[in-house]
Structure 1
């Protein structure tokens, strides 16, 4: 070994090196010119050159001249700070040690030992084995990168050159931190070198919009990193997370079944609809909840058959009554599609929609159409009003209905009688006496406060006012109706009663007109006889 320094430094360095290995010998010179002379005389005998920087010498220029003359001997410099180290490394130094205390020689000896170890490890003592190893590394799909102690790229396999953009011609001089946007790896690499422990991490490489899984293994000569592209996996994870969020927030009840018809997954909407927690559902046969006997054929030709909607292998749309765990029964629409893999059905995915209101609306519209035909053939007012009351009873599944007729002589609404629980006796409502008259006077359907209360702990006093529909049927009067169980009517209820009252008005107008014609005809015939 050749050392360019003062006497004190070389003595301490030689002592530190001999404590590590008795085979190390140190030659001492005091200038760069003397070092060049030694190298010119016998360069092969010098394994390493140590330079203890001095403000009195331009040692960086000495190192640069050394490289320009073709000497490839490893050069380790002892410097006072990182800035000076960078200057030496740019000039061609192999490694450095920052020496700012009594252990300067020991630190330098450690760097020398690492450089010599690296130099010894890279000697081609088994060329066949080494060539075979590099052939395997070159063929791997993962990027393999070797870095020296100064983070310069000393080796990059084809995958690394292709994926990270490291040019082969630059490997011997380019530092990994000079690769654009590679700072994501820096902290992990430095931690591995400082601790001497391997590290594994994932990082995004922005220029390529790619994700990599990295394994970094520190060595005495530097670090070896294996970098695998995991972009596809990250995208799949992102897609799965997005789909999971969509499923979790979906308004429809979603579920999946395995090939045996057992639940494998349900979303929160499924739990709310069925009244069953996910833990109660997963692993249970679907027929225990959906019920094979409850499925009915839909208009698209799908059939439940003996197996119902659960075990069918074709895409189906069926409706059935679902008994919830909380007690009530709801009408649901079940869209179920098989999951096919390599021609085999491995499960199915389904969507349950609560169609109770839609089913009720369709049923009530059908009822209203039938009642309309009845009304059109009614011979008199009493029959018309009786049919109207019966229709309200069907709409509300047991209604509380009152009919108010307009008395032109008294200019008031007279209740003809109530139908339903506690309807009360006939009474008269004056123009200024409430919501029924307001609905009649305006000719518009209104929701009014009927004055009774129903139990409700959520309101002050523990009771909530019941509300009913007041639907005028033209100049003839007002139909007041509502549910005996619900507090307020729904939009569907209001629409149906509005259609009913409009039909009643038309029929009563017709009956009145026919009555007037008959009356005129009767008067005319009487006059003729006279």
Structure 2
């Protein structure tokens, strides 16, 4: 770099002695130099810098070169020493101080040539080092790679990079003499997988001779044939090396370059090293393939790892265990790709560290499998064999469990060989027979025959048994005898009988249980015949004592009144002389009874439950009680005792339940019989009532109705005498008339005059009138109050007396006195006699009203009402003027529509009426005053009038008093009528009363006939028209206003009104 063109030309001339490969390029500025370095740094071998530069930045320029990583020498041609020093300090390789001496340029050329030589040497050294590193890299890859193809591809690529070749091809020689491109890199990889290896080519000749070849220029070389389709841009130089020895030739590697003389002898040596490594890789691959075939045929899982724990080999069994394909796991670190394999890591690492084979067992969760693992280490890695031992371990565990089970089983188990000698026994066999195992093993069955005899008396039963079940009596070491059951089965292995296996089971308890169970069964059958509780309880105690042997037994029954268990016998039940004590309401026996479960209970020696017994069985007998039994002293009951007592208690409970059920059944039969008798009696009463109802309908008068009822009653089977009386006539002077008495002879009928007005009968009559309820004397013979009348009862055949009131609307119309022959005649009548009294009462009331209409005997009553409860009274006080009621129309909800007249101002009446009535309306006004319609709530006055069958004639109210005028039937007591009004309107007083009697048909009779002819709506319509002044002239109301009163349309109202008028006219004229 110099801005002096002559300097550049002189330097170029001075360097002409170098070979033609050296070219001088001249740039004038640092910027141009930097651009040149960036574009062609690899081709630049030395920089010559003329200093100082125009900008004086030569030091900066030098530092920038090395900062960019450009490793070339820099020679400075300095104008002076100071400039040279700055350049050297910045990193320049060498310098020359220029002056006018002609030799200076030659000296500079020498310095440049020396720098070029040193640079070339350094670069050559670096290339050799890089080539050695690549050889090592490919060698390592050949040892660790999973497959050969990846190794070959890697080798081709790295050789091309190191030699800066245009292409690298690796050929594999085939058995038929042809060649296959195994790997290629560079432009040859795109030409049908590299250059062809045809006959006479450099690659083929190298393969055949085994000698490496180098060609500097294919155009000048005549040794080999070259590809004709390479073209002008094809390879110009190349080299090749054989892969494998003469006996194991595998292939050849060929390298090509686009420049002539691109490769050196050192490069050939490098290529031969690569060929040697590839040859070793191919041999290793072939050996590995053969080994893989062997390992693939193994049932064991086999894996190989390198020193970094990368997977180098897995066989198919290992693939299955890993759940991954070989391609997925090869080359990966086993701990990363299969985390579950960490369970083997400790043992693997220990084997690698010690470089010693390792054998161990390990459970693998992923496959739920146990493996026996054998690991063989080397410096380069680890080979591991996994053997599945899960089934083997399971068999071992089963065998161990079976052995422990035989050792723990309570039954004696033994095995005999095919000659009848003992081959094995468990500990229970030793305990049962008292024979030591060492003595038994190898001995014949005769050893046991000495101590065992069959229950049928045969001494050879044990020895002669080959299979089946035999019971034996076995003498034990303590000189006792136990009953055992020998169950022997042939032992067959592979279809051949090799001996037998037997079990000796102690059945002593079962034998005893069966014997006692048979005894209990016999006693239970005897108990089934017991007919009362005491017999069952005595049999239970006897059965307990017999079954349990020396047992002591007590029975406790549950006392519901005392809520405790009481000892049977304490109350003299005949089960023995036992002390009387308080009932049990706590403790173990009580707890067993409450829970309903059979329990073994510990008692204090002096507890007083069972004498001399401290541990008892408490067996509940359901709701009846508990059976307590036990052996004397501290002997504890065993399981058999508990089971037998449990069965016995269940039987006793069932028998007691049966006895109670039979008693309850007998009681139910008795009740049913009584109910049948009562139903029969009720049926007769019902028949009598039906006859009475028919007679009441036909009776034209009240007197005939009373007589009809009495006659039907006395005709009933249970009633001897019946007589009746009017309720209003009952007082201290009352005497029943002879025609009122039915069923009695003349003498007793006359005597009734005295009986009815004296005690104890007269108080019954008064009570019936006052309470309006039936009065009964259940049995005259047993009642002290009727002692003086026992003679009459015996003479006339009656035992019970009933006074039946005939009640209608809470008023007693009449009384019927019935003398019955049966003391239970009036018991459980299910209210029929009361209903009869009400039926008769309403019938008499209706008959009385009819009589009153026919005879017209009524009483005119005028009453001054007290208080201010009446709505009309309150209205008169509020308006301050007189108010009169013209009439009322009752509604179904209890309210009434009242038509009221007054000479007060209409507005005042309407205003005052709003606080009294739910609705008020001014109908009309004329000379006589104003007419108003009021809807009033329920009024007690109108209900009293209806209940007394009274007819309202007038109701006038002033601000100071209210006067009522009404007609009351003569049979209604005026005093009772006034009292009824006074109860609702306190201060009511009677002003006057007058009795009227008219034999001709009265207006009341005519009105009753019309009322019967009209419908309810027709009656309401014509009465409303009358009360509202519809028929006056001029009319005080219209059809429209009256229709509003009933919330109906005017045409509908006129329809009902015309129908009522038509019936009225027809009744008058027809």
TM-score by length of 1: 0.51
1:222 aligns with 2:374: no
Equivalent runs, 1:392-411 vs 2, <5 Å: 394-397=546-549, 411=571
Q: CA deviation at 1:227?
A: 1.8
Q: CA deviation at 1:203?
A: 1.9
1:430 aligns with 2:580: yes
Q: CA deviation at 1:218?
A: 1.3
Equivalent residue for 1:36?
130
Deviations 1:310-354 (A, max 9, x none): 77454x344444444456544444544433211223344455555
Deviations 1:142-190 (A, max 9, x none): 2333322222233334443444456444676233334422212221111
2:614 to 465, 479, 491: 465
Q: Which has the higher contact order (CA 8 A, sep 6+)?
A: 1
Matched residue of 1:69: which SS? helix
2:354 to 176, 187, 195: 195
Deviations 1:26-48 (A, max 9, x none): xx9999755334578xx59x997
Equivalent residue for 2:635?
487
Matched residue of 2:309: which SS? coil
Q: CA deviation at 1:201?
A: 1.0
Equivalent residue for 1:342?
494
1:412 aligns with 2:572: yes
1:148 aligns with 2:306: yes
Specify whether residues 500 and 160 from structure 1 end up closer, same or farther in structure 2 by C-alpha distance, changes over 3 A only. closer
- Contact 2:309–2:381 (CA<8 Å) still a contact in 1? yes
- Contact 2:570–2:578 (CA<8 Å) still a contact in 1? no
Matched residue of 1:182: which SS? helix
Specify whether residues 225 and 37 from structure 1 end up closer, same or farther in structure 2 by C-alpha distance, changes over 3 A only. closer
Distance (Å, rounded) in 1 between the aligned partners of 2:336 and 2:345 = 11
Distance (Å, rounded) in 2 between the aligned partners of 1:171 and 1:255 = 55
1:69 aligns with 2:158: yes
Distance (Å, rounded) in 1 between the aligned partners of 2:603 and 2:363 = 67
Distance (Å, rounded) in 1 between the aligned partners of 2:293 and 2:620 = 90
- Contact 2:466–2:488 (CA<8 Å) still a contact in 1? no
1:233 aligns with 2:385: no
Specify whether residues 386 and 37 from structure 1 end up closer, same or farther in structure 2 by C-alpha distance, changes over 3 A only. closer
Over the aligned positions, Cα root-mean-square deviation in angstroms equals 6.3
Q: CA deviation at 1:214?
A: 1.0
Matched residue of 1:174: which SS? coil
Specify whether residues 159 and 505 from structure 1 end up closer, same or farther in structure 2 by C-alpha distance, changes over 3 A only. closer
Give the greater-gyration-radius structure (CA).
2
Q: CA deviation at 1:215?
A: 0.8
Distance (Å, rounded) in 2 between the aligned partners of 1:238 and 1:184 = 23
Distance (Å, rounded) in 2 between the aligned partners of 1:471 and 1:184 = 62
Equivalent runs, 1:299-318 vs 2, <5 Å: 306-308=460-462, 312-314=465-467, 316-318=468-470
Distance (Å, rounded) in 1 between the aligned partners of 2:401 and 2:494 = 26
Q: CA deviation at 1:274?
A: 2.8
1:361 to 513, 534, 539: 513
Distance (Å, rounded) in 2 between the aligned partners of 1:337 and 1:354 = 18
1:264 aligns with 2:264: no
Matched residue of 1:185: which SS? helix
Distance (Å, rounded) in 2 between the aligned partners of 1:397 and 1:214 = 68
Gaps of 5+ in 1: 1-27, 50-63, 74-117, 298-303, 417-426, 454-462, 507-530
- Contact 2:363–2:371 (CA<8 Å) still a contact in 1? yes
Distance (Å, rounded) in 1 between the aligned partners of 2:575 and 2:422 = 59
Matched residue of 2:366: which SS? helix
TM-score by length of 2: 0.28
Matched residue of 1:361: which SS? helix
The alignment of Structure 1 onto Structure 2 pairs a total of residues equal to 383
Matched residue of 2:345: which SS? helix
Matched residue of 1:412: which SS? coil
Structure 1 or 2: more strand by fraction: 1
Which has the larger displacement, 349-358 or 218-227? 349-358
Distance (Å, rounded) in 1 between the aligned partners of 2:304 and 2:583 = 95
Gaps of 5+ in 2: 1-121, 141-152, 163-276, 557-567, 607-611, 658-1070
Matched residue of 2:356: which SS? coil
Specify whether residues 349 and 281 from structure 1 end up closer, same or farther in structure 2 by C-alpha distance, changes over 3 A only. farther
Distance (Å, rounded) in 2 between the aligned partners of 1:412 and 1:286 = 67
Specify whether residues 68 and 203 from structure 1 end up closer, same or farther in structure 2 by C-alpha distance, changes over 3 A only. farther
Q: CA deviation at 1:195?
A: 0.7
Deviations 1:39-83 (A, max 9, x none): 78xx59x9979xxxxxxxxxxxxxx99784269x9xxxxxxxxxx
